[in-house]
């Protein structure tokens, strides 16, 4: 039975989440502040952490950062629940290494879908890393063992989701990958109204790539459709 740690300072929300998830056959543990959440994460080593952002004393961003910095807990999937819906808030969470971001209020069925998808994705990670296959297309070389990308002679480390996004683009290089395909292949679901998740990750991935590519663009937006990898890159506009 999969273990889920819920960290939120609102007891009513915690109890509701616990009830919904336990009826789906998950084993739930609860913490009502950041410090207790960190302590339980280390003790329990849960399969997934559901983490609120706005908590007193230690907020969710700080908790997520400490979880990612700890070698023992760094690979535990994190689903953030928050009332913060601005793009910069999502970027901050994804930069820390949060796996998914659900804005309050939300439907419990959507929560179940995302929990199921994150757990399925986490189970698949060891298998993908076991191959340790280095893949090169044009200027780009993917290094799965370290979740890094090398462009020409420079390397930058990516979050697991950023790596998976770039890998999907590489596998389909020069062809468009739709937002729905990203959501289905990487997160395991494809709600029509969640393309913002993809936009935020793509924006952040582009920023990292630009730092090692002298400003060259390698991910092209196909408006109204999706994204395409330019394996040789495109020079920045002067």
Alpha-carbon dihedral 36, 125, 226, 208, rounded to 10 degrees: 70
Q: What percent of the chain has pLDDT over 70?
A: 90
* pLDDT at residue 129 in the model: 46
Identify which has the larger pLDDT, 86 or 25: 25
Yes or no: say if 145 and 51 are a contact pair by the CB < 8 Å rule. Answer: no
Yes or no: say if 98 and 9 are a contact pair by the CB < 8 Å rule. Answer: no
Q: How confident is the model at residue 43 (pLDDT cuts 50, 70, 90)?
A: very high
DSSP assignment letter at 146: G
* Interval 184-193 mean pLDDT: 68
Give the three-state DSSP class for 141: strand
* Interval 106-111 mean pLDDT: 88
pTM: 0.74
* pLDDT at residue 194 in the model: 65
| 49 CB-side CA count, 13 A | 37
The per-residue pLDDT for range 124-182, each reduced to its tens digit, is: 654 444 445 668 899 999 998 788 999 988 999 888 788 889 999 998 988 999 888 88
Residue 126 in tokens: 């060891």
The per-residue pLDDT for range 53-69, each reduced to its tens digit, is: 989 889 999 999 999 99
* pLDDT at residue 192 in the model: 56
The per-residue pLDDT for range 90-99, each reduced to its tens digit, is: 777 877 888 8
Report the phi/psi class of residue 178: left, alpha or beta, with left for phi > 0 and alpha for psi in -120 to 50. beta
For 152-162, letters b (16+ CB in 10 Å) and e give eeeebebbbbb
């Amino acid at each position: 039975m999969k273990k889920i740690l819920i960290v939120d300072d609102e007891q009513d929300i915690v109890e509701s989440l616990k009830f919904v998830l336990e009826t789906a056959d998950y084993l739930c543990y609860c913490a009502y502040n950041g410090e207790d959440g960190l302590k339980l994460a280390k003790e329990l080593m849960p399969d997934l952490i559901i983490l609120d952002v706005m908590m007193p004393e230690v907020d969710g961003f700080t908790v997520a950062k400490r979880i990612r910095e700890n070698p023992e807990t760094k690979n535990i999937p994190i689903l953030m629940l928050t009332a913060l819906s601005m793009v910069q808030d999502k970027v901050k969470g994804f930069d820390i290494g949060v796996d998914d971001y659900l804005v309050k209020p939300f439907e419990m069925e959507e929560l179940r879908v995302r929990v199921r998808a994150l757990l399925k994705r986490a189970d698949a990670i060891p298998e993908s890393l076991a191959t340790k296959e280095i893949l090169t297309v044009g200027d780009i070389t993917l290094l799965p063992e370290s979740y890094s990308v090398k462009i020409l002679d420079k390397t930058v480390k990516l979050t697991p989701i950023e790596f998976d996004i770039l890998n999907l683009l590489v596998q389909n290089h020069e062809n468009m990958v739709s937002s729905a395909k990203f959501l289905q292949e990487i997160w395991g679901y494809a709600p029509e109204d969640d393309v913002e998740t993809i936009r935020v990750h793509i924006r952040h991935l582009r920023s990292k790539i630009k730092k090692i590519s002298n400003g060259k663009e390698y991910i092209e937006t196909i408006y109204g459709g999706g994204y395409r990898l330019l394996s040789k890159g495109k020079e920045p506009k002067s």
